[in-house]
Structure 1
Amino acid sequence: MSGSGLALAGVSAAYRGSTVLHEVDLTVARGELLVVLGPSGAGKSTVLRVVAGLEPVTAGRIRIAGRDVTAERPGRRNVSMVFQSYALFPHLTVVENIAFGLEVRDTPRPVARERARAAAETVGCDTLLDRRPGQLSGGERQRVALARALVREPDVFLLDEPLSNLDLALRVQMRAELRALHDRLGATMVHVTHDQTEALVLADRIAVLRDGRIEQVGTPDEIWRTPATTFVARFVGSPAMNLLPAHGPVRPTGTAPPGATVTESGRLEIGFRPEAVTLGPADGAEASVDRVEVVGEDAYAYLTVAGGHSVVARVPAVRRPERGAALRVGVRWRDVHVFHSGSGRRYAP
């Protein structure tokens, strides 16, 4: 990857008088697949819409392939968008749907149809060219929507939760195909989703969005292993990361990582994922088991520890505790994250 495929600098946007994006700075390298991840209402789709020119910005600049497009009309930005609903014309055949964008831009019909067939072959829907959308499955409609975006040869692909209407098995298949398509084309893609697994599997980098603000941008590994805020720590991970007061009942064991001493009582909290919890240490905090969920080889024990704090532990299913059991729990220091309890930002001593 080299150069900038897309850059947002200080971009703000409003809807019905309310600001929905707050000075967003985001750069997508040419050929990168960036996933914008966040809950409903975070402003994810608005990011795509301002890039496409479907919504105006109230501040900031947008550059695509090095060109300032902030004031340009949507048709001049050279982006393609795949919507959650696919937005196919029901009265047109597959090949007509794919070629439509070219034909309305006065591309000769034979040329447009040939490019449409090539795009359909690329995404694996070339055997469906004479069918209409009503005759297609969800996965097939998804492929047609991708081919329609691909045929225009855009500078940036914008994908607005394109997998959310598919069942789980097909979603898993399609995200693998989408990642393979990206790698094959070397295309610049911005993919929006609320699904953390989808983000972790697909992305070169992830931008976590909350209330119209960027919480963290990083590789999937960075987002998982070094969350910048308590929001990222809890949003990425299922079950969510445990968060407790730094001087709470569960005390880390083993050697503390450098710079992670937690001596500022009342100002810090520790976070640790369920797999970092140890059951049964002699010096652990007293806890009771509220419920246990078994998921294949793993089990998740939901515990209440002293002071009424909740903790989730991930253990092998064959070693799971019984509901109602009393036990002791600890956490490994090497797996502990430390955050400021007020701002939620990662602690930097």
Structure 2
Amino acid sequence: MNAASPPLLSGTGLRRSYGGKTAVEVGHIELAEGELLAVFGPNGAGKSTLLRLLSMLEKPDAGRVAFRGVSGRAAERALRAASAVVFQRAHFWRDSVEYNVGLGLALRGISRSEARERSRDVCEQLGISHLLPAHVSELSGGEAQRVALARALVLDPEILFLDEPTANLDTDARLDLRDDLERVARERATSVFLITHDRNEAFHLADRVAVIRDGRLIQTGTPKEIYENPADAYTARLTGAELTIPGTVLTAEERMVTVDIGGASVLALGDAAPGEPVKIAYRPQDLVISPPGLPSTDLSTRNLLHATVSERRDMGGLVRLRMRGPVELVALVTLDAADELGVDAGVRVAVRVKATALHAFPAGRMKTPTGSPRARPESG
């Protein structure tokens, strides 16, 4: 898409309410040609409603959805012909897998021989060609979602809409389907619009991620941008900053603040003012543990604290360390690193963390992600 071209799909000023409760209120969202965009948020955040609006399966109370810059009934017909939707729960006609996969082609007037060839081709790509003669009632959950994906991809859609496609699968089936989404969906669909509450799914698959809460988009950017620079405490929590440190801002300059935490000071990213109470969000894996007397060779690691390990919890290949210092801290290190350092309860350690890995937010705004009230059940 060049600078002068409209986005493949866009929504502007969208609002949708049910029973007087606003489910979605989005100023602008767009999907570029060739892009996989993931809308990420907890259940009840409005993801499914947004998907229904953008796929034109449901009309907004206000706002405009445009396909290739055009809206209205003509755009709705064009989008229906150029897109396919895979819902969280697959629904089939009670017949064979081959019949269900090829049904969309038949409805588009494709000859039986061509439909059979295309169905077999996409099923081969998804590793389910052996299921073609099977009756849909015989499918497992993972197989059913693959068949639903095949039914959509056989149309070679310009836009593939995915509504929490792995939500109801067990771990192995979810990981397998995620691999297929990354490999086959990108090959056969021009662009993909995915909604998910799975952080790993969103950040692993997407070119861009849009974070949603209470029906509103909080932040949109590449996975790296959102992970490294969350817009607020909510987004920080969603991206894995599961823990916080209370403190008070000492100094503030541009996007960097110095924060007092229990008598020690740390440098963090943030916009709070001096004297303001804050909570610093951090990810346990960003803390670097070393012996207390070891000099740091990483000059970018501006923050150094000393602490005593109070608890060691082995978690397979990882070890979670709880430490007491100026404040309580939790770190996540590899089993090899923990054994090499000899860390256990009572051991004194140095804790280093980059300023860019700490995000300070005014304490009153630090809230745990929650979904908005819903006027009717929805998956996202």
TM-score higher than 0.5: yes
Residue 248 of structure 1 is matched in structure 2 by 261
The separation in 2 between residues aligned to 1:68 and 1:266, in whole angstroms, is: 47
**SS where residue 61 of structure 1 aligns?**
strand
Instruction: State the secondary structure of the residue aligned to 2:167.
Output: coil
> 1:217-258, CA deviations, whole angstroms, 9 ceiling, x for partnerless residues?
111111111111111111111x625343343327455xx57x
Secondary structure in 1 matching 2:8: strand
Q: How many residues align?
A: 336
- Aligned partner letter, 2:353: R
Q: Deviations over 1:182-240 (max 9, x none)?
A: 33235210111111111111111111111111111111111111111111111111x62
Deviates more, 1:296-305 or 1:162-171: 296-305
| Structure 2 residue 58 is matched with structure 1 residue 58 | no
Structure 2 residue aligned with 1:212: 215
**How far apart, in 1, do the equivalents of 2:27 and 2:348 lie?**
47
Instruction: Using the TM superposition, give the Cα deviation of residue 107 of structure 1 relative to its aligned residue in structure 2, in angstroms.
Output: 4.7
Mapped to 1, the partners of 2:191 and 2:146 lie a distance apart of 18
Instruction: Judge conservation of contact 2:160–2:189 (CA < 8 Å) in 1.
Output: no
Residues 204/314 of structure 1: CA separation in 2 closer, same or farther (3 Å cut): same
CA distance in 1, matches of 2:263, 2:16: 43
One of 315, 333, 336 as aligned partner of 1:315: 333
Which residue matches 1:87? Answer: 91
Partner of 1:332: 353
Partner of 1:275: 285
Q: Which runs of 5+ in 1 are unaligned?
A: none
* CA shift for structure 1 position 322: 4.0
Asked if 1:157 corresponds to 2:160, the answer is yes
- Report the CA distance between 1:339 and its aligned residue: 2.9
Q: Who is 2:318 aligned against?
A: 298
1:235 paired to 2:238: yes
**What displacement does 1:260 show?**
6.3
Partner amino acid, structure 2, of 1:66: G
Letter of the 2:130 counterpart: T
Whether the 8 Å CA contact 1:292–1:299 is kept in 2: the answer is yes
Question: 124, 127, 141: which is aligned to 1:124?
Answer: 127
Q: Output the TM-score relative to the length of structure 2.
A: 0.76
Select between 77-86 and 314-323 the one with higher mean Cα deviation: 314-323
Contact (CA 8 Å) 1:8, 1:25: kept in 2 or not? yes
In the TM superposition, residue 98 of structure 1 has moved relative to its aligned partner by 1.2
Letter aligned with residue 270 of structure 1: I
Higher mean C-alpha displacement, 69-78 vs 125-134: 69-78
Aligned to 2:378: none
Whole-angstrom distance in 1 between the partners of 2:305 and 2:73: 57
Over the matched positions of the two proteins, sequence identity in percent amounts to: 33
User: SS of 1:68's equivalent?
Assistant: coil
Mapped to 1, the partners of 2:86 and 2:97 lie a distance apart of 15
SS of 1:67's equivalent?
Answer: coil
Whichever residue aligns with residue 133 of structure 1, its letter is V
Correspondence for 1:28: 31
Contact 1:61 1:70 in 2 (8 A): no
Displacement of 1:305 in angstroms is 6.0
Cross-structure match for 1:7: 10
RMSD: 3.2
Query: Which stretch of structure 1 is more off in the superposition, 327-336 or 14-23?
Result: 327-336
Q: CA deviation at 1:288?
A: 6.9
TM-score, normalised to structure 1, is 0.82
Structure 2 letter corresponding to 1:248: I
Matched to 1:185, the amino acid is R
Task: List gaps (5 residues or longer) in structure 2.
Answer: 249-259, 294-303, 368-380
- Contact 2:307 2:351 (C-alpha < 8 Å) held by counterparts: no
Aligned-pair CA distance for 1:42:
0.7
Q: 1:157 to 1:310 in 2, by over 3 A?
A: farther
- The alpha carbon displacement at 1:110 in A equals 4.4
Does residue 266 of the first structure (1) align with residue 284 of the second (2)?
Answer: no
Letter in 1 for 2:358: V
Distance 1:146 1:140, change over 3 A: same
Counterpart Cα distance in 2 of 1:29 and 1:142: 26
Question: Could you tell me how far apart the structure 1 residues matched to 2:164 and 2:313 are?
Answer: 29
1:82 maps to a residue whose letter is V
Q: Which digits, 9 at most, give the CA deviation of each residue in 1:122-148, with x for residues without a partner?
A: 433223211112223333222211111
- Partner residue, 2:375: none
